[in-house]
Amino acid sequence: MALRGPAGLGPGSRRPLDEAVAGAVEREAPALLAAGGAPEDDEEDDGRGRGLLRWDGFSAWLHCVCVVGFDLELGQAVEVIYPQHSKLTDKEKTNICYLSFPDSNSGCLGDTQFCFRFRQSSGRRVSLHCLLDQFDKDLPVYLKKDPAYFYGYVYFRQVRDKTLKRGYFQKSLVLISKLPYIHFFHTVLKQIAPEYFEKSEPYLEAACNDVDRWPAPVPGKTLHLPIMGVVMKVRIPTCHDKPGTTQIVQLTQQADTNISVILPTVHEVDIFRCFCPVFLHSQMLWELVLLGEPLVVMAPSPSESSETVLALVNCISPLKYFSDFRPYFTIHDSEFKEYTTRTQAPPSVILGVTNPFFAKTLQHWPHIIRIGDLKPTGEIPKQVKVKKLKNLKTLDSKPGVYTSYKPYLNRDEEIIKQLQKGVQQKRPSEAQSVILRRYFLELTQSFIIPLERYVASLMPLQKSISPWKSPPQLRQFLPEEFMKTLEKTGPQLTSRIKGDWIGLYRHFLKSPNFDGWFKTRRKEMIQKLEALHLEALCEEDLLLWIQKHTEVETVDLVLKLKNKLLQADREHLPVKPDTMEKLRTHIDAIILALPEDLQGILLKTGMT
């Protein structure tokens, strides 16, 4: 199938891209961004900078768009991949095929939207443009791209069609992306999928061309994204935002006649709707997710399984869930054997499944949530009970949380009363979600603040940083030393919830979420030490230093300083812009103080 772009925008042509990306190719950009934090929270302007290749704008948001249809002989098959040059391995295509259709037992008639996540084949290069990856560092940790995984956002249509042998029209439009912007991409699909099913490939081509003209997904900027006659207004959060706030609302006080859709969030799901059947046990589920326990969600359809899994992962925000999670998982998934084997303990993963076969296959898993149909907004399903795992024997087992887990913390009756009152007063689901999200946020913050405080104490004092020695090492994390701090500065300072907090911390310190969190914090602190070391070097009188040392030592110093500059650029160290400029000035001055033959060699060695 030949899908071609418009004239004048062939593979070799260049076009304008958002000025934020254009600025990234300048030598100073990484340092400026590192020191200045997130780009300013302003409206994007129309200024356009240096151009990049065709499809770079598209690649900043999507890897590709797939159309998956049903063939009577082949079964599910990828009919279209756009742009045509997009690369997917056979294993990735197979995963996309099976994950883009609901299981036959789901009986999804009409239109269904859901999300899946699958492992990227090993050995392939990351598809996103390297210049755009620097924006990743300004994102909250839970929104950063995971290089090992793709997301698939699906709009599936199944309607009766007597003209087809099978009697049904079955097709999925699937957006494949590295970005975990669930709400945003579902909104994009709502805008384009219904018309695509009517108008076919030329419409899809035009939609992709619109995406290719979008500005880069810069955190902190309010972006206007036109697609097929609709303009979406979005803001991607930054790591500097206050958790729990939605800044786009504050930016839309004035009516804008050009805006069709304003998205208050790019990534959040309706958390109350997902937790509604189990909100009596929401605190226990928070503990299970925090501790990285193996968890299965058995749901009637992929939309319910994917929303519930994503709500679970989201409930420990602003902590990142570091284990694997699959919003929709099938028996055809390439990791099926790995995740269902009984020869070893179940892995730390959250699976969303719909096939009744899993009730038997995953019977040995320690925690299973079985949910019925999620009710429309405003309707409250019957609350499920916690049941022993041995009761999950039959395929028609009733909804419930099947686990032998005993929570460490006492149940917070206040939040349950608040949500129940909201149900009685017919409070909108959005308002209930705000209450539940704030509760989870405060619970997570109460838990993590003592850890943050202790880890900050592992940082060496600034006065111990010498420009002429390597940066000092961080002190080691000692679990027992941390436990002792909890007596005076534990979660009791910020949380009313009682219980075995110490036991919860001991369990957490052995979990993948602690391992991921601590590695991230450790990396940030080491980078901070490197930045402080660089600043200490800049404050020294280096010309005086070289007068007291040999030419060999001076050349060695120049090479080391140049390496420091490269490291600061490469790792986006949190260095002030004037520090980088000072260091370049120092290097130039030292080189000019050396004999001419050495000057020529050193000026050729790397960039200054």
Determine the pLDDT at residue 96: 95
Alpha carbon 367 to its chain's center: 25
- pLDDT score for 259: 65
* Strand order across the 64-71 sheet: 75-82, 64-71, 168-177, 149-160, 110-119
What's the CATH number where 73 sits?
Answer: 3.30.450.200
The CA distance from 69 to 75, in Å, is 8
322 and 451 housed in the same domain: no
Domains: count for the chain: 4
**pTM tops 0.85, yes or no:** no
Angle, vertex CA 147, rays to CA 335 and CA 527, nearest 5: 135
Does any domain span residue 31?
no
Same domain for 359 and 474, yes or no, is no
pLDDT above 60: residue 285: yes
Query: The CATH number of the domain where 426 resides is what?
Result: 3.40.50
* Among the listed residues 288, 279, 276, 283, the one whose alpha carbon sits nearest the alpha carbon of residue 404: 288
Closest-CA residue to 267 (of 367, 94, 143): 143
> Hey, how many other C-beta atoms are within 10 angstroms of the C-beta on 495?
18
For residue 36, which of 49, 52, 23 has the smallest C-alpha distance?
23
Q: Which of 15-24, 300-309, 545-554 has the highest mean pLDDT?
A: 300-309
pLDDT tens figures, 231-261:
999 999 988 888 766 655 444 444 555 667 8
Evaluate if residue 210 carries a pLDDT over 60: yes
Kindly state whether residue 40 falls inside one of the protein's structural domains. Answer: no
The H helix count followed by the E strand count for the chain is 22, 16
Is the pLDDT assigned to residue 330 strictly greater than 70? yes
Domain check: are 277 and 365 in the same one?
yes
SS3 at position 211:
helix
Confidence class for position 8, pLDDT limits 50, 70, 90:
very low
Query: Based on the domain organization, do 70 and 196 belong to the same domain?
Result: yes
Contacts of range 406-409, beta carbons closer than 8 Å, 24 or more positions apart: 407/283, 407/284, 407/287, 407/499, 408/287, 408/499, 408/500, 408/501, 408/503, 408/504, 408/507, 409/283, 409/287, 409/497, 409/498, 409/499, 409/500, 409/501, 409/504
Question: Residue 241: which of 231, 251, 229 has the closest Cα?
Answer: 251
Residues 6+ apart with CB under 8 A from 105: 354, 355, 356
Residue 534 lies in a domain: no
Phi-psi category of 409—alpha, beta or left, where left has phi over 0 and alpha has psi -120 to 50? beta
Look up residue 45 and give its amino acid: D
Read off φ and ψ for residue 25, nearest 5 degrees: -80, -10
Specify which of 34-43, 106-115, 401-410 reaches the highest per-range mean pLDDT.
401-410
Residue 396 shares a structural domain with residue 492:
no
- Please indicate whether residue 572 or residue 95 has the higher confidence score (pLDDT): 95
Whether residue 518 is contained in a domain is answered as no
Among all chains, which residue has been given the structure tokens 């928070």?
286
Out of 110-114, 126-130, 154-158, pick the least confident. Answer: 126-130
Based on the fold, state whether residues 69 and 191 are members of the same structural domain: yes
Which residue type does 394 have? T
**Residue 16, domain member (yes or no):** no
207 and 174 fall within a common domain: yes
pLDDT band (50, 70, 90) for residue 214: very high
Q: What is the pLDDT of residues 448-506, one digit of tens each?
A: 999 999 999 999 887 888 878 888 889 999 999 999 999 988 898 889 999 999 999 99
Tell me how long the chain is: 608
Residues 332 and 303 in one domain: yes
Residue 226: how many other CB atoms lie within 10 Å: 14
| Strand pairing category for 168-177 and 149-160 | antiparallel
Question: Are 75 and 182 members of one domain?
Answer: yes
pLDDT at 170 over 60: yes
22 occurs within a structural domain: no
Residue 546 falls within a domain, yes or no? yes
Most confident segment among 125-129, 320-324, 332-336: 320-324
pLDDT of residue 31: 31
First-to-last C-alpha distance (Å) of the chain: 50
C-alpha to C-alpha distance for 326 and 294, rounded to whole angstroms: 12
Domain-terminating residue out of 412, 432, 452: 432
Point out the domain boundary residue: 513, 530, 565: 513
pLDDT digits (tens, 9 = 90+) for 530-586: 888 888 888 778 777 878 888 888 888 888 888 888 888 877 788 887 888 888 888
406 and 331 housed in the same domain: yes
Q: Round the CA-based radius of gyration of the chain to a whole number and report it.
A: 27
- The reply to whether 232 falls in a domain is no
Query: Given a cut of 70, is residue 273 above it in pLDDT?
Result: yes
**Domain check: are 428 and 506 in the same one?**
no
Structural domain containing residue 561: 541-605
Structure tokens at 352: 């969303």
Q: In the prediction, which pLDDT does 161 show?
A: 79
Residues 168 and 283 in one domain: no
Domain end (from 409, 432, 455): 432
